[in-house]
Chains A and B, each alone.
Chain A
Amino acid sequence: MELRSRIRELFQKGEIGSLIGYGRGTLPLSARPIFITEGGVDQLIFDITCGVNLAKYLLRKKPIAGQKVGIICKGCDGRAIIQYLTEGQLNREDVYIIGISCPGMIDPNRVREKVRGRVVTNYQMNGEEITLSGDGFQLTLPREDLLSRSCLRCRYPSPPIYDTFIGSPKDRVEIQDEYRSVAEIESLPAAERWNYFQSEFGRCIRCYACRNSCPFCYCDVCFVDQTNPQWFGKGVELTDTIIFHLVRALHTAGRCVDCGSCERACPMGIKLTLLSKRMEREVRERFDYIPGLSVEETPPMAAYREDDPQEFIQ
């Protein structure tokens, strides 16, 4: 396997001292983040189950004895790292970015929705189709039905910056209707939009799996955890829940790289990326900025232009 031999080589040459990558999980169709040194290279895998955004673990892992931390980077992990660099969260020289082209990751919530309680023990990919099989059943579905919604509209399968690349980098993908999910909601009348979000966020259990798996929710104390003052209720009253998600969308606006970690982590299958995607479009149209592409640009919410549009201000 090219992945393992290349990583072993990096360890042997002393390019990296430790590595953040993916290993096999205990459930079918699951992978888990692993943290290894040279001895653990044989645990490494990379396939369509490796959805967790690893960039966040970089903020916890510091280089040991001057040796860089290696990290396996799909497009979204790489973009998150670029965003960290613009936000001053990382030193570029501490990290060794190992690029890899992303085939698109499956969303466990969407798999569950499709198999309805049956147990998948194996899967196979044939071009645009994925076959799931288990005890007494086989289900062949188009890729679009199982992949993370974020992956289906992803334009950057490979990280924009890397120190080495496994395989060859994929070009930018042209996606026509990147904001289709947002536009669908926008086509509804206001009252129906409210009803829709009420039913989505009404399911939220405030477990914060979305926040804690988000590469950009790295504040030491999140605004919902502040106690002096405590801004909002911590229970599941609809208004508190919705405001939590609104403010999270605002705080990640202009930073979110649409990796879809939040949506995949949500046990209740809430379509969390609707809000972040809406913000992404606004930032792009208004401030002409796409997060995670360039280290030089200032993040949009830490910048301004004198002629920013202000049609909404009297």
Chain B
Amino acid sequence: MRKLLKKDLPRLIEWLKTSYLLYGPTEYGFAPIADHTPELITPIRPPKGIFFPQYQVLFRYDGKVPKSKGIGLFGVRPCDAKGLLILNRIFTQGPYRDNYWQDQYQSGIIIGIGCNQPQPTCFCHWFGIGPFGKEGCDLFLTDIGDGFLIEAVSKKGEDLISSFDPLLPPTDQDLKRRDEIVARAEAQLKDGIDPKLIKERLDNLWESPIWGELAERCLSCALCTYLCPTCHCFDIQDEEKARVRIWDSCLFPLFTQEASGHNPRPEIRDRLRQRIMHKFNYLYLQYKEAGCVGCGRCVIFCPVNLDLRELMRRILDEG
């Protein structure tokens, strides 16, 4: 544990930029940090697209290779860092590895920051993350007012930060202040739901009328999917000069459309059920963890207010 004074933040950033192509939060998403000190906000888009681009050239027919460089992500929230970890598990564990993801993710570094002020739409604590969850980060920052406490979470993080000079040892008062901040933030996240229970309830809800009711309102757009830190479905297409990978969404009818014309998930109801089942049942079955990190983006941005938290509570009531 070390302390970085706020006035030294630009130095840290400059220093990180010597080893990494450093991305920081902007209003709309993570973007390369040019000559500024990034404002540590939670962007609309999660950072998944940095390692798993929405449009990714897998190879070009002319043999030229798309450029890539070790990427550093600065100012990642605990939910988003955990989201990346979940994606890493999906892309790299099991019999098949996704090299495109692996190369990017493993050569990168993730610098997380705790959430002093969780939002009412945050529900990361349902999934065991919490406003100061460090899982998935290499370094973790806590804002204590006059500076940041920096903690190395991984070996990579430790190696990196040990050679950065302008850090101070934290005083007892700093640690005390951090404990207060953490306690205050955690107290704001109440009424958790156990994802294991949701999983069990969903086992019995395949034919539930819930899906039809939700589908009445759902527009079947992919806003929730594309803003989700853990959604990872994709399509591969051959374009004129390259084979590309693009994001796809289970909420689009085309996702399961077969060449024969048959579509096994023709109705919005079927597709919505797939999305929820995949996140909270199938992924839980595979990894003992749900495919949701409680960031609240789908809750905030859904144009017709399909609130995932409300749905989860209903699932608990009905199952």
A interface, CB within 8 angstroms of B: 25-27, 30-35, 52, 57, 60, 117, 119, 203, 205-209, 211-213, 225, 227, 230, 233-237, 261, 264-265, 267-269
Contacts and interface: CB of A to CB of B under 8 A. Distances in A.
Given A211-B221, A225-B252, A236 B54 contact: yes
B13 interface: no
Contacts of A25: 305, 307
Contact of A213 (B42, B219, B252): B219
B88 interface: no
20 contacts: A27-B121, A32-B217, A33-B217, A33-B304, A35-B217, A52-B303, A57-B216, A119-B120, A206-B222, A207-B249, A208-B221, A209-B223, A211-B221, A225-B252, A227-B254, A227-B257, A233-B239, A235-B244, A235-B247, A267-B301
Contacts of A33: 217, 304
Given A25-B305, A234-B237, A267-B301, A213 B54 contact: no
B303 A207 contact: no
Nearest to B220: A212
A264 B303 contact: yes
A233 B249 CA distance: 15
Interface residues of B, number: 41
Given A205-B54, A265-B303, 12 more contacts: A30-B305, A32-B306, A119-B119, A203-B28, A206-B222, A206-B226, A207-B221, A212-B221, A233-B244, A233-B246, A267-B44, A267-B301
Contacts of B119: 117, 119
Contacts of B309: 26
A234 B303 contact: no
B225 interface: yes
B45 A205 contact: yes
A115 to B, nearest CB: 11
Contacts of B235: 234
Interface in B299-317: 299-301, 303-307, 309-310
A34 B309 CA distance: 18
A225 B254 contact: yes
B210 interface: no
A136 to B, nearest CB: 11
A224 B222 CA distance: 14
Given A35-B216, A208-B222, A213-B219, A235 B303 contact: no
Contacts of B170: none
Nearest to A32: B305
B293 interface: no
